[in-house]
């Protein structure tokens, strides 16, 4: 008599093993979870029973479950759309479609199943998993549940995990769900497998040769006792119902059990054999895929990145020529290499994509990598190559030293791109590619900011117009119209305004008193205090001062205002400093656009546009993924592009940095950039960005050039478009030494005030001599930094290897980072500390207007915000003509403005324009497109 294989007992053992594994994972990662989603079409009774058993067993051990029940009228498209939705859901780890489909429409079930993401195909039935199984790629395959259960049944019953090895296996039945995958699975476990089906000749004789007989043919009692080889293992996968119309109906298998048990060595009963194992293996597969998706991605293994080889040419061609000569990887490949899941990627063409913030949730338990900021000495008007250094350093760390590394850079404004500065993709052999896509629209974030900004601007003028042209009753009635029942329901944003006014919120606004209605309806904006301007992403000097309301329809309500360039909008700073969409909405609500006539702040929430602005900006919070010339990953996101690191903090987004730090892991590196010199961008990066992000930087890379240091040593003026003076093209140790002893020394001291390690990266120019470069390195060491020469512009990543090694060494040392001032200090104290400690001033002096603003902002409760000093980038002082490290000056504070939504106050130290103009000869003269190839010329 055969040994009866107790499928229920073995299934319970498997499930308990899964439960124990789940518990051990949760002990280490308490937020870990695994979720199985079952898609059911119709309402078949037998399907309901099967689904109930699966979900019940999953819930018993702590797995999450989700049942998606669709009506029998569902169409192919609707069903496939539901599958795609589950594919994109980061909380779902496994998806199965319950078969057969109970529907009245004609539906291709195979096509539906094949829409399941193969990483979530816990039934193992997609073409991809089936193909991998047939090819023997067992380590990359999700085994179909029933064949997998059959294998485990045999291993457990015989006590031999290698029992199949060398055995003659006969599979009766070739279905896609059981027979065919079982044959493949047993073959790759080294069984000699034969598949039999309805057309097979001599079926009885073949079965008699089987040492392992697996029957899944769907015919009751089909295999008789005399078909079985004595001592064989018989696995009956059949489920057949006899006397189905009678109350005492029976479930029987494909094997005549009573006959077979007298011959076989082992046999599974029906029910109680294979059935429970199918459910158990489904549970096991679900946890396995959850671990693969959620925990395997937490490993700190080095990425396997396909590095793009660069063919270096001499002389170095133009940036656009270099960019166009390199064929980028598909962005899906870049994403996969760095551990971004397909469901976390939103493609914008083939070379760029947005990345979902779901990555942060998935990787929340992963340790952050090392955090490096690239700043610089006070630059010449030509720039000293911070963006190029950021890209070159990231290429060196990632492609050359094989360290997981992300670069995080700012998105360029189209104003400078079409003006005089050109693009901002880096330069030479250290660029973000494709540079055309980087420098133009990218994914539309700046356009979204433009739209949201101008919606608020339009709403301000419209509100003032309507308040000026309507009496109290008419204004209130239009703001809160009656519904069909005669009630006046309030929107959520209107309820918030009542709360701020300390007015009880009624169910029906009809219950408000006349005085309450007036206070609610009238913002009473003082036009002289409006700080919110319209924006456009184009350099246009004639929009620096405009009049609006000149049409007769505006009834004489004319006022002077101005346009800013889009990246100067407070919304850009909000985007760069936000932590998620909810935080963005909260920050938008706090934007102060003006004061009322009583001196109280009027906010975007008061205007009523918080939600609508957030709707326009909903996709902007997702960082944009691109790549460098060497195929290493880059996030391009937010940031106030030149020259608006003056009035804002001038850095890329906190979200990009946070996602990158999780993706690189504890042994990886994130290289980001701060605008302009260390006195501006670095100081704001530390005192503003790091406060809001709670991220601790590990090192500063301070970019310097011999050219800029000679200028600070007393060299002739450096003017865009004009030839460089003799001193800059020939060795001049005296000028260089003076520049090092002034500006380089001061900027290193500025970084050291934050207790941060400093690496001075000296960007090599063709005219630099070895004596000059060595002098800068020696001076950097003398002042407490590490000096390294870099040539990444001409060499790509290999040209920055020494910088990368210095960064790795610096990051090995503990970080004792500190802020320059506490937020509890008053605004006057904060301004004074920055002026004295960072700029070298003797003190500050406020104009009467600035004093009045200081008093107003303090009274309004904004005194606890950090300060974002707005001054020239061309000098440590407020005077752009003063080079080196000026002393003995008083910093003038001409005015003060509040970016309450972004979270800082910015004092104006001198004249700062927020709308650049076009020069006589802008970049656009050189730009064109080939109508046939669509290749763009003239970008740089």
Active site residues: 54
Name the residue with tokens 């008419």: 474
Nearest to 566 by CA among 493, 639, 634, 623: 639
Sign, CA dihedral 469-473-476-477, equals negative
Q: Which helix (H) or strand (E) holds 448?
A: helix 445-469
Q: How crowded is residue 545: how many other Cβ atoms within 10 Å of its Cβ? A: 11
- Measured in residues, the chain has a length of 940
Say how far apart CA 707 and CA 704 lie, in whole Å.
9
Query: Chain-centre distance of CA 737, in angstroms?
Result: 44
Collect all residues with Cβ–Cβ distance below 8 Å to 730 and sequence separation of at least 6: 767
Say how far apart CA 309 and CA 327 lie, in whole Å.
10
Residues 173/197, Cβ–Cβ less than 8 Å? yes
Q: Output the CA–CA distances (angstroms, integers) from residue 521 to 464, 542, 593, 604, 851, in the order listed.
A: 11, 36, 17, 15, 32
Q: Are strands 699-704 and 757-763 parallel, antiparallel or unpaired?
A: parallel
Q: Are strands 353-355 and 669-673 parallel, antiparallel or unpaired?
A: unpaired
Residues 523/463, Cβ–Cβ less than 8 Å? yes
Say how far apart CA 214 and CA 144 lie, in whole Å.
15
Sign, CA dihedral 237-239-242-247, equals positive
Collect all residues with Cβ–Cβ distance below 8 Å to 848 and sequence separation of at least 6: none
Nearest to 362 by CA among 377, 348, 342: 342
Say how far apart CA 411 and CA 441 lie, in whole Å.
10
* Burial class of 612 by CB neighbour count within 10 A (0 to 12, 13 to 18, 19+): middle
CA angle 430, 433, 437 (to 5 degrees): 140
Say how far apart CA 886 and CA 422 lie, in whole Å.
31
């Amino acid at each position: 008599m055969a040994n009866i294989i107790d499928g229920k007992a073995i299934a319970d053992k498997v499930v308990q093993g899964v439960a124990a594994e789940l518990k051990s994972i949760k002990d280490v990662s308490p937020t870990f979870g695994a979720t199985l989603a079952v898609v059911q079409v119709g309402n078949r009774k037998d399907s309901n029973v099967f689904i109930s058993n699966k979900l019940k067993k999953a819930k018993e051990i702590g797995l999450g479950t989700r049942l998606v029940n669709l009506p029998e009228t569902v169409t192919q498209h609707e069903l496939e759309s539901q599958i795609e939705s589950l594919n994109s859901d980061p909380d779902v780890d496994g998806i199965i479609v319950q078969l057969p489909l109970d529907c009245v429409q004609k539906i291709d079930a195979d096509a539906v199943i094949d829409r399941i993401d193969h990483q979530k195909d816990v039934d193992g039935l997609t073409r991809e998993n089936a193909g991998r199984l047939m090819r023997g790629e067992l380590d990359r395959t999700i085994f179909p549940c029933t064949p997998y259960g059959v294998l485990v049944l045999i291993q457990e019953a015989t006590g031999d995990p290698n029992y199949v090895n060398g055995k003659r296996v006969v599979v009766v039945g070739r279905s896609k769900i059981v027979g065919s995958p079982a044959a493949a699975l047993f073959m790759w476990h080294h069984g000699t497998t034969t598949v039999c089906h309805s057309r097979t000749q001599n079926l009885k004789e073949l079965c008699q040769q089987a040492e392992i007989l697996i029957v899944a043919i769907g015919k009751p009692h089909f295999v008789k006792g005399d078909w079985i080889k004595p001592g064989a293992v018989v696995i009956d996968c059949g489920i057949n119902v006899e006397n189905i119309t009678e109350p005492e109906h029976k479930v029987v298998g494909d094997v005549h059990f009573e006959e077979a048990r007298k011959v076989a060595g082992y046999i599974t009963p029906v029910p109680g054999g294979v059935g429970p194992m199918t459910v158990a293996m489904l549970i096991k597969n679900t946890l396995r895929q959850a671990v693969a998706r959620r925990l395997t991605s937490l490993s700190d293994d080095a990425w396997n990145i396909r590095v793009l080889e660069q063919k270096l040419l001499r002389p170095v061609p133009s940036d656009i020529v270099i960019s166009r000569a390199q064929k980028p990887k598909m962005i899906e490949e870049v994403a996969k290499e760095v551990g971004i899941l397909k469901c976390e990627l939103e493609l914008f063409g083939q070379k760029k994509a947005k990345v979902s913030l779901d990555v942060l949730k998935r990787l929340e338990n992963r340790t952050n990598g090392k955090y490096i900021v690239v700043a610089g000495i006070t630059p010449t008007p030509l720039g000293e190559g911070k963006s190029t250094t950021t890209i070159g350093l990231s290429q060196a760390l990632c492609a050359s030293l094989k360290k997981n590394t992300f670069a995080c850079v700012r998105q360029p404004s189209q104003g400078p791109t079409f003006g005089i500065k050109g693009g901002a993709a880096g330069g030479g052999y250290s660029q973000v590619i494709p540079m055309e896509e980087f420098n133009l629209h990218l994914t539309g974030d700046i356009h979204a900011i433009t739209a949201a900004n101008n919606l608020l601007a339009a709403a301000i003028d419209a509100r003032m117009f309507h308040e000026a042209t309507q009496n109290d009753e008419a204004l209130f009635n239009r703001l809160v119209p009656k519904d069909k029942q005669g009630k006046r329901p309030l929107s959520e944003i209107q309820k918030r305004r009542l709360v701020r006014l300390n007015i009880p919120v009624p169910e029906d606004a009809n219950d408000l008193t006349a005085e309450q209605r007036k206070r609610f309806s009238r913002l009473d904006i003082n036009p002289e205090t409006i700080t919110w301007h319209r924006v456009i992403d184009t350099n246009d000097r004639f929009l620096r001062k405009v009049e609006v309301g000149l049409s007769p329809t505006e009834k004489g309500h004319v006022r002077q205002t101005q346009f800013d360039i889009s990246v100067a909008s407070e919304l850009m700073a909000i985007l760069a400093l936000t932590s998620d969409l909810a935080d963005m909405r909260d920050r938008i609500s706090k934007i102060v656009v003006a004061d009322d006539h009583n001196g109280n702040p009027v906010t975007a929430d008061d205007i009523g546009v918080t939600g609508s602005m957030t709707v326009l900006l909903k996709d902007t919070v997702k960082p944009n993924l691109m790549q460098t010339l060497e195929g290493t990953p880059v996030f391009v996101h937010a940031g106030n592009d030149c020259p608006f690191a003056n009035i804002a903090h001038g850095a890329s987004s906190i979200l990009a940095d946070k996602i990158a730090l999780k993706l690189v892991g504890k042994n990886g590196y994130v290289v980001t950039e701060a605008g302009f010199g260390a006195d501006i961008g670095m100081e704001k990066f530390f005192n503003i960005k790091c406060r809001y992000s709670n991220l601790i930087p590990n090192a500063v890379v301070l970019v310097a050039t011999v050219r800029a240091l000679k200028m600070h040593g007393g060299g002739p003026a450096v003017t865009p478009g004009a030839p460089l003076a003799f001193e800059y093209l020939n060795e001049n140790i005296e000028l260089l030494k003076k520049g090092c002893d002034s500006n380089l020394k001061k900027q290193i001291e500025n970084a050291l005030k934050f207790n941060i390690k400093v690496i001075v990266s000296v960007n090599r120019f063709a005219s630099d001599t070895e004596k000059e470069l060595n002098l800068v390195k020696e001076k950097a060491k003398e002042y407490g930094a590490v000096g390294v020469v870099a040539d990444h512009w001409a060499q790509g990543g290999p040209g920055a290897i020494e910088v990368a090694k210095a960064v790795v060494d610096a990051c090995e040392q503990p970080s004792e980072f500190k802020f320059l001032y506490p937020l509890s200090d008053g605004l006057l104290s904060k301004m004074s500390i920055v002026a004295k400690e960072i700029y070298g001033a003797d003190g500050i002096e406020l104009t009467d207007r600035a004093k009045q603003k200081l008093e107003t902002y303090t009274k309004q409760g904004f005194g606890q915000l950090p300060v974002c000093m707005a001054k020239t980038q061309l000098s440590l002082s407020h005077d752009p003509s003063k080079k080196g490290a000026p002393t003995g000056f008083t910093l003038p504070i001409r005015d003060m403005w509040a970016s309450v939504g972004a979270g800082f106050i910015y004092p104006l130290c001198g004249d700062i324009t927020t709308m650049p103009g076009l020069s006589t000869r802008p970049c656009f003269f050189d730009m064109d497109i080939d109508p046939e190839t669509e290749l763009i010329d003239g970008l740089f």
